[in-house]
């Protein structure tokens, strides 16, 4: 099975030629390598490769996985090269700013309503966790298309709170809130 | 009536426990610490790691402990560790840990003699200290009057000025938006907004331009209101590239006061300390500063009639001039580095002082040995603007071995509540030199693993390996500059290969149900990645 990865923004591919524990894998065009892999705890991978011992700690994150080895931290996304580019292009459209919650927390204030004209730096939603308030701002001159956030609601990291369209013409193709 | 322990005027007219002592002086054996003079039971009006820290010393002293807890803290470690526990309300602090009536009621019901306030919450609330005394409970800390003189940051500035300590240009009272514009116009930018009732960086905002003043004041006031129930904000000129160095002082109720040296706390994010050390590398180079700053701290504390443990904070500019910043009238989060280097237990001393005992040593008996460093382990993502990251801890391995001290409240399976500070633990190390302590901390960080949430553990390692940190070129803007100059570390190729392998195995091992349940968030990339794998 071949997987495409993004490791700290660098594209890479990995192919698992035989499964753990007697694992054989190929990274990019490098020669295949053998590794002995055990999982002593959930999310912990003990890897023996070329006589060296590594503990890799794998954590889910809003934007993929975070792998920590010997204090080095890698942000890794795993995707199927046949599909991801098409979808990503659609989601990342510049026409609409998606206001996402950057952390798990609680919506304590909604500062804008659908249809409001906004300017760059204007606060849209305030999320609080652990006594820290985070004001999420518009990055453009535009109009609020939709507000999903509700005051008092608990949100997860990456949850959609509001969308903002460009100023002059709200994209006809975009969904507009009622 | 003189007390048998040697103190000239030992008495606690308001304390049930003090009255007993004064009434029957003939009942005392020699020395008072383990006899009738000592508290039998202490309630800790706090939560988390500091409650755990206090319980540990109480247990060593043979004193019973009473924990208090809110709904989300029922399973927190301080509740499990204490001898007794009392429920005091729902999650929001304003309805539990800040409710003086409920805490005093719990103390009464459980028969506590004294209350240890920890740090944060009610620890610097003069009304709370006064209410404890009125309820015949000993408040383990300074008098309500001292807290008033020092707890309000603007009143503290006035006290420091009266004591002859240098202060930073600023206002001696809360400001309105117009006054803020006026101050900025007079003194220029950057300025620093601070909560009058502040502490822990809450309600603090750096402002670099006029257009940001209004929103900064609004946000700071709102944050201060939530943290301290007071929206008052004052303003100071911001001194760039300054060091934060603070002096630990200790005074008894008989007029004796000493200092226990300094802590350097210049490594901060959002005006909150993340790494602290003792001795300060600057003072290690210029040892006469310890005496000068120590005396300034003692003068300031005396001006407020201070007793018990306290900390006088100073900013030190690039010319080594120091300015009074504020005084914390309580135990400090970072007190372990002082304990490691002086060999003292500050909580034990706080308790002894609160019973009326005199300080057991004089200034010249205090010695500083070796070097200690502390890292504050927070539930947050340092690579995403240090945003907090509460959640369930799914895995935990703690560092062990020579020279390690870990104060924490974390256990495997605990859900870190989103209502409170993200501080999980304080990892401190001691070694004979700063270099050895740094190496020891890096070693300890490598052993430390917290799974299920984000922490700043990996970030600490990058800081400790930084050449500027090694050279002790510290200042409060260190972390911002670190992020600007930082080259993403070039990891050895083997590590990249192992990381890729682990990520691939982790992804393919996930069952469909686990894949959707393992994380509550999705990105288009991850969804498509999973789709691809599952087809």
ipTM of the complex: 0.71
* Beta-strand runs (E) in B409-522: 415-416, 423-431, 449-451
pTM over 0.90: no
**What stretches of B393-433 show up as alpha helix (H) in DSSP?**
none
**What is the reported pLDDT for B76?**
94
CB B396 within 8 A of CB B451: yes
In a domain, B533, yes or no: no
B contacts of A132 (beta carbons < 8 Å): 270, 387-388, 422
pLDDT tens sequence across B493-523: 899 999 999 999 998 887 443 344 344 444 4
Relative to beta strand B138-139, strand B114-116 is parallel
CB contact under 8 A, B388 and A103: yes
Closest chain A residue by Cα to residue B507: A78
Give the Cα separation of A64 and B241 in Å (integer).
36
A87 in reach of chain B (CB within 8 A): yes
In a domain, B270, yes or no: yes
CB contact under 8 A, B223 and A57: no
B34 in reach of chain A (CB within 8 A): no
Give the Cα separation of B377 and B274 in Å (integer).
8
Closest chain A residue by Cα to residue B523: A63
Q: Which ranges of chain B have pLDDT less than 50?
A: 1-36, 511-535
CB contact under 8 A, A73 and B421: no
Residue A124 pLDDT greater than 90, yes or no: yes
Q: DSSP character for A32?
A: P
B519 in reach of chain A (CB within 8 A): yes
B50/B116 same-domain check: yes
A31 in reach of chain B (CB within 8 A): no
Comparing A83 with B13, which gets the higher pLDDT? A83
CB B248 within 8 A of CB B332: yes
**What stretches of B240-280 show up as alpha helix (H) in DSSP?**
none
In a domain, B31, yes or no: no
In a domain, B120, yes or no: yes
Give the Cα separation of B509 and A42 in Å (integer).
11
CB contact under 8 A, B458 and A72: yes
Residue A62 pLDDT greater than 80, yes or no: no
pLDDT tens sequence across B352-408: 999 988 999 999 999 999 999 999 999 998 888 898 988 899 899 999 999 999 999
| pLDDT mean over A78-107 | 66
**What is the reported pLDDT for A94?**
65
**What is the reported pLDDT for B167?**
94
Give domain A2-79's CATH architecture.
2-Layer Sandwich (3.30)
B290/B408 same-domain check: yes
CATH number where B98 lies: 3.40.50.20
Is residue B243 flagged as an active site residue?
no
Residue-range domain boundaries for chain A: 2-79, 93-166
Give Cα separations from A8 to A1, A11, A65, A117, B490 (angstroms): 22, 8, 11, 36, 11
CB contact under 8 A, A16 and B504: yes
B327/B472 same-domain check: yes
B488 in reach of chain A (CB within 8 A): yes
CB contact under 8 A, A65 and B223: no
Q: What is A93-166's CATH number?
A: 2.40.50.100
Which structural domain range is residue B127 located in?
A: 38-140
Instruction: Tell me which residue of A79, A76, A100, A101 sits closest to A88, measured CA to CA.
Output: A79
Comparing A140 with B436, which gets the higher pLDDT? B436
Catalytic residue among B99, B330, B376, B440: B330
B185 in reach of chain A (CB within 8 A): no
CB B273 within 8 A of CB B478: no
* Interface residue of B270, B466, B501 to substitute, partner A, most A CBs within 10 Å: B501
């Amino acid at each position: 099975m071949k997987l495409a990865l993004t490791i700290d923004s660098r594209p890479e591919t990995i192919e698992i030629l035989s499964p753990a524990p007697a694992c054989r894998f190929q990274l990019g065009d490098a020669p295949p390598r053998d590794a002995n892999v055990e999982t002593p705890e959930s999310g912990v991978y003990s890897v023996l490769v070329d006589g060296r011992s590594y503990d890799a700690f794998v954590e889910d994150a809003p934007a993929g996985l975070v792998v920590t080895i010997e204090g080095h931290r890698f942000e890794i996304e795993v995707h199927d090269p046949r599909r991801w580019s098409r979808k990503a292009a659609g989601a990342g459209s510049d026409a609409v700013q998606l206001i996402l919650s950057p952390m798990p927390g609680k919506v304590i204030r909604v500062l804008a309503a659908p249809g409001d004209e906004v300017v760059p730096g204007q606060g849209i939603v305030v999320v609080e966790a652990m006594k820290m308030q985070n004001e999420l701002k518009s990055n453009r001159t535009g109009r609020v298309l939709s507000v999903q956030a509700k005051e008092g609601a608990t949100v997860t990291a990456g949850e959609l709170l509001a969308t903002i369209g460009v100023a002059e013409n709200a994209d006809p193709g975009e969904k507009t809130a009622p | 009536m003189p007390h048998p322990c040697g103190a000239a005027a030992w008495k606690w007219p308001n304390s049930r426990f003090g009255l007993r002592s004064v009434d029957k002086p003939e009942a005392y054996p020699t020395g008072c610490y383990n006899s009738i003079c000592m508290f039998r039971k202490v309630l800790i009006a706090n939560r988390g790691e500091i409650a755990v820290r206090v319980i540990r010393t109480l247990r060593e002293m043979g004193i019973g402990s009473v924990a208090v807890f809110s709904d989300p803290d029922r399973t927190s470690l301080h509740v499990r560790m204490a001898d007794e526990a009392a429920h005091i309300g729902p999650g929001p602090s304003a309805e539990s840990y800040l409710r003086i009536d409920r805490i005093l009621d719990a103390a009464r019901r459980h028969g506590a003699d004294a209350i240890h306030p920890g740090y944060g919450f009610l620890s610097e609330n003069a009304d709370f200290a006064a209410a404890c005394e009125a309820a015949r409970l000993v408040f383990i800390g300074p008098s309500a009057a001292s807290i008033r003189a020092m707890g309000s940051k603007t009143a503290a500035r006035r006290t420091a000025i009266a004591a002859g300590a240098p202060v930073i240009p600023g206002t001696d009272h809360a400001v309105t938006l117009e006054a803020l514009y006026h101050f900025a116009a007079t003194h220029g930018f950057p300025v620093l907004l601070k909560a009058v009732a502040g502490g822990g960086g809450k309600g603090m905002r750096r402002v670099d331009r006029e257009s940001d003043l209004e929103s900064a004041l609004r946000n700071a006031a709102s944050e201060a209101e939530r943290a301290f129930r007071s929206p008052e904000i004052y303003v100071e000129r911001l001194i760039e590239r300054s060091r934060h160095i603070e002096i630990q002082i200790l005074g008894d109720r008989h007029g004796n006061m000493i200092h226990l040296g300094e802590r350097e706390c210049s490594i901060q994010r959002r005006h909150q300390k993340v790494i602290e050390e003792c001795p300060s590398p600057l003072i290690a180079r210029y040892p006469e500063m310890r005496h000068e700053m120590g005396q300034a701290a003692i003068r300031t504390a005396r001006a407020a009639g201070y007793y018990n443990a306290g900390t006088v904070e100073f900013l030190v500019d690039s010319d080594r001039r120091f300015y009074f910043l504020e005084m914390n009238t309580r135990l400090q989060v970072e007190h372990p580095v002082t304990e490691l280097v002086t060999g003292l237990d500050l909580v034990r001393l706080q308790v002894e002082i609160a019973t009326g005992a005199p300080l057991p040593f004089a200034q010249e008996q205090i010695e500083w040995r070796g070097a200690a460093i502390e890292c504050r382990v927070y539930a947050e993502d340092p690579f995403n603007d240090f945003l907090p990251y509460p959640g369930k801890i799914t895995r935990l391995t703690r560092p062990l071995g020579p020279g390690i001290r870990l104060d924490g409240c974390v256990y495997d399976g605990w859900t870190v509540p989103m209502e409170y500070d993200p501080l999980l633990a304080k990892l401190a190390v001691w070694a004979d030199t700063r270099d050895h302590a740094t190496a020891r901390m890096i070693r300890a960080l490598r052993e430390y693993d917290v799974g299920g949430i984000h922490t700043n553990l990996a970030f600490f390692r990058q800081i400790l390996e930084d050449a500027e940190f090694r050279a002790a070129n510290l200042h409060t803007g260190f972390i911002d500059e670190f992020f600007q100059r930082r080259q993403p570390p070039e990891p050895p190729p083997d590590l990249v290969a192992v990381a890729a392998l682990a990520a691939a195995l982790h992804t393919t091992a996930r069952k469909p149900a686990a894949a959707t349940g393992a994380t509550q968030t999705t990105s288009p990339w991850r969804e498509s990645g999973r789709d691809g794998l599952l087809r």
